Structures are given as C-alpha cells and as structure tokens.
Amino acid sequence: NLDLITTAPSVIYKIMKTNGEVIEVTNPSNMPSPSEIEYMEEPIVNASIICPSEFVGAVMDLCQNKRGIFKNMEYIETTRVMLHYEMPLNEIIYDFFDALKSRTKGYASLDYELCGYKKSELVKLDILINGEIVDALSMIVPSERAYARGRAMAEKLKELIPRQLFEIPIQASIGSKIIARETVKALRKDVLAKCYGGDISRKKKLLEKQKEGKKKMRQIGSVEIPQEAFMEVLKVES
C-alpha cells in the first residue's frame, strides 16, 4: 500500500548566482530567490524527427510551440523527410512524443541527444491551494509563458478539485506576485431547513454561526487534491 505522488518531470538547470556561485537544480523548490539569480541555463538537445512529408507542417508547428529552433530538413525518401531541431530538453521529456504521434497519425519517430546548455529566461511558477504552496505542482517555465501557464493551471484545478463546505482559493504565483486566481465555491448547507416559523433573529444567528464556522474551516481545513488532478494539470498547455 504505497502512496504515490505525481510531480512534474524536470531536468537539471544551472543557476549562476549573483555572488558568483554556480549551482544545479532539479527540484523547483530548491531554487534560490529571484534576487539571488544572475541568470539560468537549461539543457538543449539536437532532435531528429522522421515523418511522412504530408505531416511536415504539423510537425514544424509543434516544434515551434515547444521553443524549437529549426536547423534543416532533408528528404530520405520521396515521401519521407527528416527534420532537425535544436530544442530545450524540458519541452520534450513529458508529452512531446505523444503530441508528435498524434499530429502524424503515429507515423513519426524521434531521436535526440544532449548538446549542451543555453542561457534562458526562466522563472519558478508556484501553485497555492488554500494559501499553501503545493510543491508537486511547482515548475520552472519560460518567463514569457508563465502568466498563461499559471492561468491555465488555476482554471484546470478549479474544474478538478471537489467542492468543500468552505471556499478554496487557487492561486498561481511567481515569487510573491500572484499572477492568476480562481475559487472553488463552497457547498451550500441549508442551516434554516429545520428552522420553522418566522423568527428572524434566530435565522440571523444561525446564518452568522454558519459563516463563522466556514471561516474557521477555511483556516484549518486541509484540501485533498485527487491524484488524477495532478496528471491533468501537468498536461495543461500554456
């Protein structure tokens, strides 16, 4: 009976700190604060993709969306081509191959090899549920995609997290800055169901008591995130 925790796949990033120290980070939780980072480098691969010529446009569009840099293309047969791209390793380790197969109806192959590191504009994106950072959902993303990715993840989590008796705020943040917010609405419990008659003051007291109770639950309540929610959020495209 093992409790498995799903986390976003990651790679080894190199961070040059402002004090001249170079560190390697795989877990976003271990990243220094932005004020301590001079710049970051991420691993780059040379990727070779073979596919039928009719799918070249779809494959090139996919690679561009994954921050790929086109190098060249060659025909290996009259109906098959080989595309060469330089791509960040982080863009292909999770679902790139599945997306490639989908766009080529299964008629594509992928081969890649690490070719070094390149300086990139990257930030740590955190997800907070009920005010607490969920480490398993933290990730390192390109800065130009951080806002869109954070917003998409918050929206997806709102769909996936079951409603509780209290509101659940979902926030995406970069450092101390909140960049997106969604709220899972509280379940309504009819506390007046057994309150017969027209005693207004008693009804008001019951509603106030419910309001205070929900506030307390929100402060101490722990929110359980379904395991499938982690998998779905990791698939979110920015």
Q: Which of 56-60, 91-95, 139-143 shows the lowest mean pLDDT across its residues?
A: 91-95
Q: Is residue 169 part of a domain?
A: yes
Query: What band does 210 get if pLDDT is binned at 50, 70 and 90?
Result: low
For 151-178, the pLDDT digits (tens) are 999 999 999 888 887 888 999 999 889 9
Split into its structural domains, the chain has a count of 2
Q: Which of 105, 120, 135 is the last residue of a domain?
A: 120
**6 pLDDT higher than 80:** no
Q: Are residues 128 and 116 in the same domain?
A: no
Position of tokens 């292909």?
Answer: 92
Q: Are residues 25 and 91 in the same domain?
A: yes
For 224-236, the pLDDT digits (tens) are 777 777 777 777 7
Q: Is residue 89 part of a domain?
A: yes
Quick one: which H or E segment has residue 101?
helix 96-103
For residues 178 and 173, give the distance between their C-alpha atoms in angstroms, rounded to a whole number.
Answer: 4
Query: What band does 208 get if pLDDT is binned at 50, 70 and 90?
Result: low
CB atoms within 10 A of CB 166: 20
Position of tokens 């933290």?
Answer: 138
What's the confidence (pLDDT) of residue 211? Answer: 59
Domain interval for residue 53: 13-120
Tell me the one-letter amino acid at 159: E
Contacts of residues 190-199 at CB distance under 8 Å and 24 or more positions apart, as own/partner, are: none
Percent of the chain with pLDDT over 70: 81
What's the confidence (pLDDT) of residue 226? Answer: 74
More confident residue, 2 or 24: 24
More confident residue, 228 or 196: 228
Query: What band does 217 get if pLDDT is binned at 50, 70 and 90?
Result: very low
Burial category of 91 from C-beta neighbours within 10 Å (exposed 0-12, middle 13-18, buried 19 and up): buried
**Hey, which residues does 183 pair with through a beta bridge?**
169
CATH of the domain at 28: 3.30.70.240
**4 pLDDT higher than 80:** no
Q: Which of 100, 120, 140 is the last residue of a domain?
A: 120
Q: Over the range 103-141, which residues count as b (16 or more CB within 10 Å of their CB) and which as e?
A: bbeeebeeebeeeeeeebebbbbbbbbbeeebebbbbbb
Over residues 120-146, mean pLDDT: 91
Q: Is residue 162 part of a domain?
A: yes
The contacts of residue 162 (CB under 8 Å, 6+ apart) are 224, 226
For 65-89, the pLDDT digits (tens) are 999 999 999 999 999 999 999 999 9
Q: Which of 74, 91, 120 is the last residue of a domain?
A: 120
Over residues 100-117, mean pLDDT: 95
Q: What is the mean pLDDT of the chain?
A: 85
Position of tokens 């398993």?
Answer: 136
More confident residue, 231 or 63: 63
Q: Are residues 110 and 191 in the same domain?
A: no
Q: Is residue 3 part of a domain?
A: no
Closest CA to 146 of 120, 117, 184: 120
For residues 51 and 41, give the distance between their C-alpha atoms in angstroms, rounded to a whole number.
Answer: 31
